[in-house]
Chains A and B, each alone.
Chain A
Amino acid sequence: MKTLARARAPWKVIWLGILAALASAQERVLHVMVEDPLLAESWELLGTLSREFEARHGGVRVDLLSLGGAAGTMDRVKLLLAGDVPLDLTRIDITELAAYREANALVDLEPYFEGDSDWDPLEWFPICLDALRDERGHLYGLPQTFTPYVMYVNLTLLDSLGIERPAREWSWEEFHAICRQVTADTDGDGRTDRFGVSLTQWLQALAPWIWQAGGELLDRSGRVSRWNEPPVVEALTFLHTLLHEEGVASDDATFENQQRRGLFQSGRTAFYGPVGYWERFRLRAVREFEWDVLPLPRHRRAATAVAMSVYVVPRTARHPELAYAFLREVLGGLPYQTRMGAIGNGLPGLIEAAHSAAVRNPGVPPASFDVFFEVLGEARFLPTLANWRKIESLCQAELEGVLLSGDVAPEEAARRMAEKTDAYLDLERRREARPRLPGGVMSAAVALALLFAVGLYLTRRGPPPARAGRAEERAAGAFLSLWAVGFFAFLLGPAVVTLVLSFCEWSPLRPLSDMAYAGFDNYTRLWGDGTFHTSLVATTLYALLSVPLTLALALALALLLRATSSLSSAVRTAVYLPAILSPVIVAALWHVLLDDDGLINDLLALIGAGRPRWLEDPSWVVPAFVLMALWSVGTQMLVFLAGLSGLDPTLEEAARIDGAGPWRRFVHVILPQLTPVILFNGITGLIAAFQIFAQPYVMTQGGPGDSSRFLVLYLYESAFRHLEMGYASAIAWVLFLLLAILSFALLRSSRRWVHYASRSVGR
């Protein structure tokens, strides 16, 4: 009842009332967000185990939700918690644990573990549990699966080349030598098609090299980076040599597209790594060659990284005690843990499950299964920092310059990584010292804006109408009311609040009362933010290229297709169809088309052109998106067609009689009449171009480097991945101002070039 009384809005009281009534009338529902739905067998098992759990705990219903296995899943849990959606238990990635813990978004499970007589921490891998503890030693959850990073090896390939299989303790030099021996152009077409190693390149896979060289990512305090030290440069230089100077490593194994090409899978690389246990699942279909795993080659010391998924209880849990019971009995139980390991996506955290015959599965590679356990002594997690994902994203952008495109010197990248990381850590420290925004400021701002709008209307609306007009005015009010509510609540009101938010700093995982006042800091930060600069330049470049090109192409197509014949009508359909497809579909499709070996490059090869690495080369990625925009010009073409059909035919006829050729007729007769349509297409195209989001989100996640981190993508990431709502609001306002200025400039200039003839289309 207390919560009901404290709720601020009548709406919320009603809402909570309904929920409370429902909850008391029905059983307790436990919302559990679990792993990948791809794994049908684990899903079934989980269903059975949940039914058993329900039978043991009367009046409980378990609602299993699948999280999905995609890159965006980490964001989804954040959105659920930020959106205050009740969730009792959820899977998260260990690299995000600190972010949740720092925002106080997780339930400290220590009291539950202490009160649990059956709990024996020794049943679990110590390295896993340690990562789940805070500095006081309190435990926040249990592992689902984990894996150290190892190296996969194609034994058949090594044997066929007469290369001796490396020992378990092998060095960078041996690794390097084998890579050189394997690399070859087997079909003599001038392109290497057999590589030493398919090298993975995300930060977690890269950290082992740095550690082996004797380096560290951050210093002990977690306040200063150590990127700019010789071991880091040495590791980066080594990888850069493999990838670019000698070309003995292939770069197909980036985080985004490791599944698309898979050179190791097709038997064309000797090594693949550093990667985790999950590859066993992907390689299950390989019959053509024998493969195994090895510890990573070592340098000054042996080291490897660990990845882990864990189950935690969020603050929004309605039934934390039941969630704990479910965690212990089902998710931490032997059957589930064993099944997870047997599927092959990761090793179970429960020791007994990890060593079970079902997981070991002797008939199935790798023969050296024990390597995964042997390397645990040298395995480490990435640093635990609340803002780690932001730092990861900052560094990843630099790393791609060294590893993927290869045109940035390792020293240069290391220096910039250190700079960016330190600047961000600095920002974090300043953040702690900020004053809280007094409560009510936000509401006051909204009220003020509303008052201002009403005042403006009342003073500017003019004299009252005559008696007869009053009824009409009332009717107008009624007609507009529905729309006006939405207009102010969802469009104009929020835009004003965004402006206020851009002067604040706040993470949506925290309550509203934790909002801090930041002054102009968000804007000054934008000014000095290299990522934002790149983003702004990329977005502007995309708009400058795509808008005129799509306009020209759409107009050309419209002219070509305006005749009425069955062929041109069929072609019209073919041209228009892509325009009705969702950007997500277009992105999914073009991601494959633009692959190194995709259709576009095959076509380019036919005409003897080069094979651009569209999505891996920073200078080709924006043109790649422009190409996609050109494929989706159908709507603009239709608008031009409509414009063309509205032209005055007598003018063209007159020009023809006067002896004007097709080009002259186009320039002097058709084009002037079409200028209003061009203006319309130009402005709508401009707005759409600046809002490009789904394509980079699906295809590149902003990479390589920051070269496709367009403004809206950066806004989304800032707000909902790095949880910087204030900063994201500042980006939103810059975006709006930019668009407003450009549109006004275009409209202004249109007075000089747009002709509204008597019979032209338009008003």
Chain B
Amino acid sequence: MRRLVLLAVGLFYALPLLFMLEVSLQAEGRGLVDGPGVLLRDGAHFENYAAALGAMGGVPRLFANTLLLTVVSIAGQLLCCSLAGYAFARLEFRGREGLFLCVLATMLLPEQVSAIPRFLLFRWLGLVDTFAPLILPTVLGGAPFFVFLFRQAFLSLPPELSEAARIDGASEWKIYWRVCLPLVRPMLATVGVLTFLATWNDFWAPLLYLLSPDNRTLTLALAGFHQGYNTAVEHMMAATAVVIAPCLLVYFLTQRLFLGGIRTAASKH
């Protein structure tokens, strides 16, 4: 009985993806009226994929853009948030508690509240339609939640660690970089994974800033393709499948990292 329930649940969650594959392989122009089974009758039409990719245009470029944004964001986010988290956790300075409370409070601040002035700022800097408006806020500002996560991770290290290093004459930077950072590797993985998801899947910022076709990301291109006046439903599903593929690949390659990462974040709140 329990196995049956499990199977039903798994099927329910997998069904939409299977349906997507089925539609993506049916003959172009059939629409949805025929229902399932049309594949058996007509055979699979793999040419839909080539047609969909051709119609979406510049797919390698879209991949490259998305990848570049993601990698830079992850690197920047890790450095910036771990530095801030380290300072909040292991360095004494005046006003630390108050400032940290401020960080916690901004976790409630939706991105959209600062969106309009941000747009004006980047327009003033002449950076609209470049990657900078997407990268700078993550690299410099960082998400408050990640600062919080790093603070928790650094707090869990014993204070004697830094004291010993200090007595040995190590600089604060060295203590952070050589001693403490290697010890919070799980948290680095966590924040890396969460940043990957946030950047790879982001829609709001690309929609506002990546305006030239050469600058588009995958999700942005997919949204545009989806709303195209002439997009056939078969091509739409084929394109969706293609965009999903790398996410699944990354997920299966780094499954441990992924699940471990989310779990660490969950148990630290």
Contacts and interface: CB of A to CB of B under 8 A. Distances in A.
Whether chain B is bound by chain A comes out as yes
A371 interface: no
A565 to B, nearest CB: 9
B103 to A, nearest CB: 8
Contact of B28 (A38, A285, A599): A285
A571 B3 CA distance: 10
Contacts of A736: 108-110, 113
Contacts of A680: 266, 269
A475 interface: yes
A577 B251 contact: yes
A334 interface: no
B129 A80 contact: yes
B263 A638 contact: yes
B167 interface: no
B172 A592 contact: no
B222 to A, nearest CB: 6
Contact of B29 (A265, A485, A591, A729): A265
Contacts of B200: 582
A472 B176 CA distance: 12
B116 A498 contact: yes
Nearest to A499: B113
B146 to A, nearest CB: 10
Contacts of B214: 65
Interface in A679-732: 680, 687, 690-691, 693-694, 697-698, 712, 715-716, 719-720, 725, 728-729, 732
Interface stretch (B9-17, B40-48, B67-75): B9-17
Contacts of B116: 494, 497-498, 501, 719, 725, 728-729, 732
Nearest to B94: A461
A333 interface: no
Contact of A697 (B124, B209, B223): B223
Contact of B142 (A83, A462, A483, A588): A483
Given A37-B213, A588-B223, A732 B113 contact: yes
B10 A571 contact: yes
A12 B112 contact: no
Contact of A577 (B13, B172, B232): B13
Nearest to B196: A580
Contacts of A184: none
A479 B244 CA distance: 38
A17 to B, nearest CB: 12
A686 to B, nearest CB: 10
Contacts of B197: 580
B125 A12 contact: yes
B228 A69 contact: yes
Contact of A483 (B29, B147, B173, B237): B147
B178 interface: no
B211 A85 contact: yes
Contact of B31 (A85, A266, A557, A720): A266
B109 to A, nearest CB: 6
Interface string A559-570: 011000001101
Contacts, number: 378
Given A83-B123, A259-B230, A577-B251, A690 B110 contact: yes
Contacts of B122: 83
B136 A486 contact: yes
A724 to B, nearest CB: 11
A470 B69 CA distance: 38
Nearest to A720: B208
A489 interface: yes
A740 B108 CA distance: 7
A16 B84 CA distance: 33
Contacts of B125: 11-12, 15
Nearest to A733: B113
Given A83-B123, A732-B112, A736-B110, A642 B266 contact: yes
B65 interface: no
A109 interface: no
A577 B248 contact: yes
B137 A486 contact: yes
Interface string B12-34: 01111101100100001101110
A382 to B, nearest CB: 18
B247 A580 contact: yes
Interface in A21-70: 36-38, 40, 65-70
A551 to B, nearest CB: 14
B265 to A, nearest CB: 8
Contacts of A495: 109, 113-114, 117
Nearest to A719: B116
Interface string A304-319: 0000000000000000
Interface string A183-225: 0000000000000000000000000000000000000000000
B118 A490 contact: yes
B83 A570 contact: no
A486 B99 CA distance: 15
B267 A598 contact: no
A566 B19 CA distance: 25
B137 A735 contact: no
A266 B6 contact: no
Nearest to B143: A491
B37 to A, nearest CB: 11
Nearest to A473: B93
A703 B20 CA distance: 24
B14 to A, nearest CB: 5
Interface in B88-139: 91-96, 98-99, 103, 106, 108-126, 128-129, 136-137, 139
A472 B112 contact: no
A589 B16 contact: yes
A423 to B, nearest CB: 24
B18 to A, nearest CB: 9
Nearest to A686: B108
B6 A643 contact: no
Contacts of A72: 207, 223-224, 227
A278 B140 contact: no
B263 A582 contact: no
Nearest to B11: A574
Contacts of B96: 476
Nearest to A602: B35
Interface in B222-269: 222-233, 236-237, 239-240, 243-244, 247-248, 251, 255, 258-259, 262-263, 265-267, 269
Contacts of B91: 472-473, 475-476, 479
Given A72-B224, A589-B240, A493 B117 contact: yes
B113 A584 contact: no
A364 interface: no
B86 interface: yes
Contacts of B119: 82-83, 508
* Nearest 3 CB-CB pairings of A with B: A486-B140, A486-B141, A83-B128
18 contacts: A16-B126, A38-B55, A82-B123, A465-B92, A465-B93, A475-B87, A477-B93, A483-B83, A490-B114, A491-B114, A494-B121, A582-B247, A589-B16, A642-B267, A694-B203, A697-B203, A735-B113, A739-B110
Given A85-B129, A493-B114, 17 more contacts: A70-B224, A70-B227, A80-B211, A260-B233, A457-B95, A471-B172, A476-B87, A480-B83, A485-B141, A486-B139, A561-B6, A584-B203, A592-B233, A639-B265, A642-B263, A643-B267, A736-B110
